[in-house]
């Protein structure tokens, strides 16, 4: 009697995202992170939700770098909630490691803002996670999606768009 091993399903290849040193990741905003104990599980591996928190921090800092303070958005009644999120975990990150969270605004369509992410080693040789996030502009007072982005936000996002094309 032969014993068969259960077949393991394999994840599909991730194309250009497998090589973090590829031109695919050039000209992205970089946010450095060092893994803290509260971001890990008992085995010292980063908890999956920590990656999402880092991505949000990177996005907020990227916006700040072009003159959009999140507190100012809140003050004018504009919120940017996540409406779609897709994360692919490639390798584990461990307690004490330093990594870079790279982000870029991929596209703005009306009031939808799409962002790409890559979490890589500081030398760019290891890819730990890739993600895509979609935000929408929400009128926080009415609780409804805005018909268009506030002019100041639209102008600032155009700066990011221009940087990504260079």
Which CATH number belongs to the domain containing residue 160 in this structure? 3.10.129.10
Looking at the predicted structure, is the pLDDT value of residue 157 above 90? no
Give the model confidence (pLDDT) of 67-103 as tens digits.
Answer: 888 898 888 899 999 999 999 999 999 999 999 999 9
Q: Which residues are catalytic?
A: 41
**Residue 10 within a domain:** no
- Does residue 64 lie within any of the structural domains? yes
108, pLDDT greater than 60:
yes
Q: Which residue reads 């040789």 in tokens?
A: 125
- Count structural domains, the chain: 1
- Give backbone dihedrals phi and psi of 153, rounded to 5 degrees, phi first: -70, -45
Residue 12, in any domain of the structure? no
Q: Is residue 47 part of a domain?
A: yes
Residue 98 lies in a domain: yes
| Predicted structure pTM score | 0.80
Residue 68 lies in a domain: yes
pLDDT tens digits, residue range 2-60? 444 444 444 444 444 444 455 566 789 999 999 999 999 999 999 999 999 999 999 99
First-to-final CA distance of the chain: 63
What is the domain extent for residue 114?
A: 27-164
């Amino acid at each position: 009697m032969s014993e068969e091993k259960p077949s393991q399903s394999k994840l599909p290849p991730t194309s250009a995202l497998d090589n973090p040193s590829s031109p695919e990741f050039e000209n992205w905003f970089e946010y450095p992170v060092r893994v803290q104990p509260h971001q890990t599980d008992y085995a010292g591996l980063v908890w999956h939700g920590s990656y999402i928190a880092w991505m949000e921090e990177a996005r907020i800092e990227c916006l700040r770098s072009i003159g959009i303070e999140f507190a100012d958005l809140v003050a004018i009644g504009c919120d940017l909630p996540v409406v779609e999120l897709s994360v692919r975990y490639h390798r584990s990150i461990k307690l004490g490691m330093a990594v870079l969270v790279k982000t870029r605004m991929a596209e703005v369509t009306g009031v939808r803002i799409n962002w790409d992410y890559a979490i890589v080693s500081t030398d760019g040789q290891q890819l730990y996670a890739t993600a895509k996030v979609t935000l929408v502009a929400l009128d926080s007072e009415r609780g409804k999606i805005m018909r268009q982005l506030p002019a100041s936000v639209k102008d600032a996002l155009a700066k990011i768009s221009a940087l990504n094309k260079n």
